[in-house]
C-alpha cells in the first residue's frame, strides 16, 4: 500500500469495485499526461470514489506528450491529451471529455486590455521587449513560455504561425499553475495558459487577467459558443487492446453525471 501511494506524486483516487477487472495488480489504474486535464480527472475520480470505493486511480501530470508516450509504452493505462490527436497518433483511441481554450494572460495591474496577433508575435519573438513598444506603459516585458511537450505550446505556436526556435523566452514553465504563479508575481510578465485555469484563478482573486484574441474575449462562454479562435479538445487516450477493460472509466469521465464538475473546473462539456 505504501509503495503504490509513493508512486502517485500528484493524486491517489479511488473508483468502483465493479471496475476491478479493469485494474492492474493491486486494483490500480495509472493516468498520466496533460496538467490541464489532471485536476478535472481528480474531481471525477473523487466523485466515483464516494459512489463505489474499491479501485484506485493514480493521476499524474507531466504534459500531453507524456500521456501519449506513457500509454504506448505501457507505463500508464490512460493518457491525458489536451489537444486534437495527430495523424501519427492513430494507433490510440481518443475520448473527448471536455473542451477548453488557451488564453493570453497578463498581470492584473497591466493597463493593456488587448493585443493584436502581430503584437503577440512581436513580443514572443523578441521584436518587442518593452510594453511601450505595444502601446503600454514603459517597462520590460517578461516573456513566459511553455516547455516543449506541452500541448498548450503546440496550440500557441500553430495559431500564431511560429516555430519553437522563433520564441525568445525569459521564463519556461511546465503546467498551468506555474504559468499563473509566474505572471501573478510579475507585473511585467505575459504568458498563456488554459482559459479554464485562468478564469478560475481570476475569479478567486489571483492578480491575472485574460486578453481576448481577434476581438473575442477569452472566456469559457465563448469556447462553448464556438466564437473563441483558440480552443481545443480535452482527451483521454487508451490502447485499442485496452478499450473494453477501461471503457467504464472513459464512459463515466465523459458522461452527463460529471457535467457539473466540468463546469466547476471552467471547462465545457463535450456532449450536447
Check if 2-99+233-269 and 100-224 are the same fold.
yes
pLDDT over 50 (residue 15): no
Confidence of residue 106 (pLDDT cuts 50, 70, 90): very high
Output the pLDDT for position 108: 97
2-99+233-269, which class in CATH?
alpha beta
pLDDT over 90 (residue 93): yes
pLDDT over 90 (residue 104): yes
Average pLDDT over residues 147-163: 92
Average pLDDT over residues 141-161: 93
CA 38 – CA 62 distance, rounded (Å): 9
- Look-up of cell digits 498548450: 152
For residue 272, how many other CB atoms are within 10 A of its CB? 4
Average pLDDT over residues 67-78: 97
Q: Which residues of 219-240 are buried (b: 16+ CB within 10 A; e: fewer)?
A: bbebbbeeebbbbbbbbbbbbe
pLDDT over 50 (residue 4): no
What does R_g of the chain's alpha carbons equal in angstroms? 19
CATH topology for 100-224 is D-Maltodextrin-Binding Protein; domain 2 (3.40.190)
Which of 4-18, 47-61, 182-196 shows the lowest per-residue confidence on average (mean pLDDT)?
4-18
- As beta bridge partners, residue 100 has 232
Average pLDDT over residues 140-158: 93
Average pLDDT over residues 222-237: 94
- As beta bridge partners, residue 234 has 98
- The domains of the chain are located at 2-99+233-269, 100-224
Output the pLDDT for position 272: 65
Average pLDDT over residues 69-83: 96
Q: What is the pTM of this model?
A: 0.77
Compute the mean pLDDT over every residue in the chain, rounded to the nearest whole number.
88
Question: Distance from CA of residue 266 to its chain's centroid?
Answer: 11
- What pLDDT, in 10s, does the model give residues 243-262? 999 998 899 999 999 999 99
Exposed, middle or buried: residue 46 (CB in 10 Å: 0-12, 13-18, 19+)?
middle
pLDDT over 80 (residue 3): no
pLDDT over 80 (residue 17): no
% pLDDT > 70, the chain: 90
Taking alpha carbons only, the member of 223, 232, 231, 228 closest to residue 263 is: 223
CA 84 – CA 233 distance, rounded (Å): 6
- What pLDDT, in 10s, does the model give residues 19-72? 333 333 348 889 999 998 999 998 998 887 777 778 888 899 999 999 999 999
Q: Which three-class secondary structure state does DSSP give residue 137?
A: coil
Are 169 and 146 contacting, i.e. CB atoms less than 8 angstroms apart? no
- Look-up of cell digits 525568445: 168
Q: Which residues of 132-155 are buried (b: 16+ CB within 10 A; e: fewer)?
A: eebebeeeebbbbbbeebbbbbbb
What would you measure as the largest C-alpha separation in the chain, in angstroms?
A: 61
Amino acid at each position: 500500500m505504501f509503495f503504490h501511494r509513493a508512486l502517485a506524486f500528484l493524486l491517489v483516487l479511488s473508483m468502483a469495485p465493479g471496475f476491478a477487472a479493469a485494474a492492474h495488480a493491486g486494483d490500480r489504474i495509472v493516468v498520466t499526461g496533460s496538467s490541464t486535464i489532471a485536476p478535472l480527472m481528480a474531481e471525477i475520480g473523487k466523485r466515483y470514489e464516494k459512489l463505489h470505493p474499491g479501485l484506485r486511480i493514480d493521476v499524474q501530470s507531466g504534459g500531453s506528450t507524456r500521456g501519449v508516450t506513457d500509454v504506448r509504452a505501457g507505463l500508464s493505462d490512460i493518457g491525458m491529451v489536451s489537444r486534437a490527436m495527430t495523424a501519427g497518433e492513430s494507433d490510440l483511441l481518443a475520448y473527448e471529455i471536455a473542451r477548453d481554450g488557451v488564453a493570453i494572460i497578463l498581470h492584473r495591474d497591466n493597463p493593456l486590455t488587448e493585443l493584436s496577433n502581430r503584437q503577440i508575435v512581436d513580443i514572443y519573438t523578441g521584436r518587442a521587449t518593452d510594453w511601450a513598444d505595444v502601446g503600454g506603459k514603459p517597462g520590460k516585458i517578461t516573456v513566459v513560455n511553455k516547455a516543449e511537450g506541452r500541448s498548450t505550446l503546440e496550440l500557441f505556436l500553430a495559431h500564431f504561425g511560429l516555430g519553437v526556435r522563433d520564441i525568445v523566452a525569459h521564463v519556461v514553465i511546465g503546467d498551468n499553475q506555474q504559468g499563473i504563479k509566474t505572471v501573478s508575481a510579475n507585473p511585467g510578465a505575459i504568458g498563456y495558459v488554459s482559459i479554464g485555469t485562468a478564469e478560475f484563478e481570476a475569479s478567486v482573486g489571483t492578480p491575472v487577467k485574460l486578453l481576448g484574441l481577434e476581438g473575442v474575449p477569452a472566456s469559457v462562454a465563448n469556447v462553448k459558443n464556438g466564437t473563441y479562435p483558440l480552443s481545443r479538445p480535452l482527451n483521454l487516450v487508451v490502447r485499442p487492446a485496452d478499450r473494453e477493460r477501461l471503457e467504464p472509466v472513459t464512459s463515466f469521465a465523459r458522461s452527463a453525471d460529471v457535467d457539473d464538475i466540468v463546469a466547476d473546473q471552467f471547462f465545457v462539456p463535450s456532449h450536447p
